[in-house]
A = this chain, B = another copy of it.
Amino acid sequence: MSTVALTLDEVYQLAYACLSKAGADHANADAVATTVQRAERDGSVSHGLFRIPGYVATLESGKVNGKADPQPELVTPALVRCHGQNGHAPLAIARCVDMLASAANTCGIAALSLTHSHHFAALWPETEALAERGLVGFACVSYMPMVAPAGGKEALFGTNPISFAWPRPNNIPLVVDMATAAMAMGEVQIAARDGHKVPIGTGLGAQGELTDDPREILKGVLLPFGAHKGSAISMMVELMAGPMVGEGFSFEAAEEDNGDGGPPQGGEFILAIDPKVMGGDNWAEHAEKLFEKLEAIEGIRLPGQRRHKMRKDTGSREVNIELVEKLRGLAG
């Protein structure tokens, strides 16, 4: 794969130019470009510039409003609600985080219900933003039906990621971010391309049979991680990011989607907890005792460490040259 070196500023500028050309206003283009830049910075390539064609497609098809002006509202002392105005999620989230954090500081716990939004990024940006404010963060979204419930053979659940962040004063936060599918669709595609097998349990072939051949799974469906238990968690995500916040299920979003290749409309549930209010003064040093035990185990790394290690490198990033050329075309 040929690559070209882009500085992080160039990553941002390229993303911004594509979004702007496709009709996004400054606030929206800036929010999405910042999210994309952070993903490239942290080595989360599949959520970086790779996603720009999808973002652009939704602006060009008119499915997503590039001039969305979402305004968070404090519905109760502990509940922030935000109508996303059919924009991409990053602007709405950026505008909600401080209000959500403030509510959590006041009440010990607070939640955000985000609706009418199009989420196409990782979840760690929002949970990490809460952890940077000293809060425990949790977030989930449902995304595109491509996972069969355990016991079923047809796609019903989305890949339905969840994220959890734990703040560590004077240290980088612990951040979990994972799909509740056994494997991301992109990883299955790469295994198929490279001729590798995948573990049994990753997905089913076209006839509903368990298989370790990724080419068969691409004709069939993914499975949830962890069989019935993971399936229950994926179902919880459908409910929490759906009717609980006033939005639809992933199968409904797909039915209503125009198929432009970008993210469908959906909801997001974000939870913020102030451990100082809930757990008392000793929470932070106490938590370190678990992390010490975990880090003493050979081969175990706390979740989120790799991203932060990448982040220390402020230099340029190698980006697929064909992607960069494509984006330069989109930027005009």
Q: Tell me the A residues contacting B by CB distance below 8 Å.
A: 75-79, 81, 106-111, 113, 136, 149, 151-152, 154, 156, 164, 166, 176, 178, 180, 225-227, 229-230, 232-233, 235-236, 238-240, 242-249, 251-252, 271, 273, 275, 277-280, 282-284, 286-287, 289-290, 293-294, 297, 299-300, 303
* B149 close to A277 (CB less than 8 A): no
* B238 close to A290 (CB less than 8 A): yes
Contact (A233, B235) CB under 8 Å given A108-B75, A244-B278, A278-B113: no
Q: Which of B176, B252, B275 contacts A243 (CB 8 A)?
A: B275
- The count of identical subunits is 2
* A233 close to B233 (CB less than 8 A): yes
Contact (A107, B136) CB under 8 Å given A151-B297, A297-B149: no
Jot down 14 A-B pairs with beta carbons below 8 A, ordered by A: A75-B108, A76-B277, A79-B108, A79-B278, A109-B271, A136-B239, A152-B297, A180-B229, A225-B229, A225-B230, A226-B227, A239-B290, A244-B275, A246-B282
Q: Give A66 to B78 CA distance when docked, in angstroms.
A: 36
Top 6 closest A-B pairs, CB basis? Answer: A226-B226, A79-B108, A78-B78, A246-B279, A78-B107, A243-B286
* A226 close to B232 (CB less than 8 A): no
Q: Which of B243, B277, B287, B294 contacts A287 (CB 8 A)?
A: B243
Measured CB to CB, the nearest residue on chain B to A138 is B236
- Specify which chain B residues have a CB less than 8 angstroms from the CB of A303 in the assembled complex: 232
Measured CB to CB, the nearest residue on chain B to A104 is B78
- Specify which chain B residues have a CB less than 8 angstroms from the CB of A245 in the assembled complex: 278-279
* B109 close to A109 (CB less than 8 A): yes
Contact (A151, B299) CB under 8 Å given A79-B107, A79-B278, A108-B76: yes
* A111 close to B109 (CB less than 8 A): yes
Q: Which of B229, B233, B277, B287 contacts A79 (CB 8 A)?
A: B277
Q: Give A236 to B271 CA distance when docked, in angstroms.
A: 14
* A109 close to B79 (CB less than 8 A): yes
* B287 close to A239 (CB less than 8 A): yes
Query: Distance (Å) between the CB of A180 and the closest chain B CB?
Result: 8
Q: A225-B226, A246-B279 are in contact. List 17 more A-B contacts (CB 8 A).
A: A77-B78, A78-B110, A79-B278, A108-B111, A111-B273, A113-B279, A136-B240, A149-B300, A164-B232, A176-B232, A235-B294, A239-B287, A239-B290, A243-B283, A243-B286, A245-B279, A246-B283
Contact (A294, B243) CB under 8 Å given A108-B78, A230-B226, A277-B79: no
Measured CB to CB, the nearest residue on chain B to A148 is B297
Q: Give A166 to B237 CA distance when docked, in angstroms.
A: 12
* B244 close to A273 (CB less than 8 A): yes
Q: Give A271 to B136 CA distance when docked, in angstroms.
A: 14
- Specify which chain B residues have a CB less than 8 angstroms from the CB of A178 in the assembled complex: 229, 232
Q: Give A78 to B271 CA distance when docked, in angstroms.
A: 13
* B75 close to A277 (CB less than 8 A): yes
Contact (A109, B108) CB under 8 Å given A156-B294, A249-B289, A300-B151: no
Query: Distance (Å) between the CB of A111 and the closest chain B CB?
Result: 4
Q: Give A111 to B79 CA distance when docked, in angstroms.
A: 13
Contact (A293, B246) CB under 8 Å given A77-B107, A110-B109, A278-B113: no
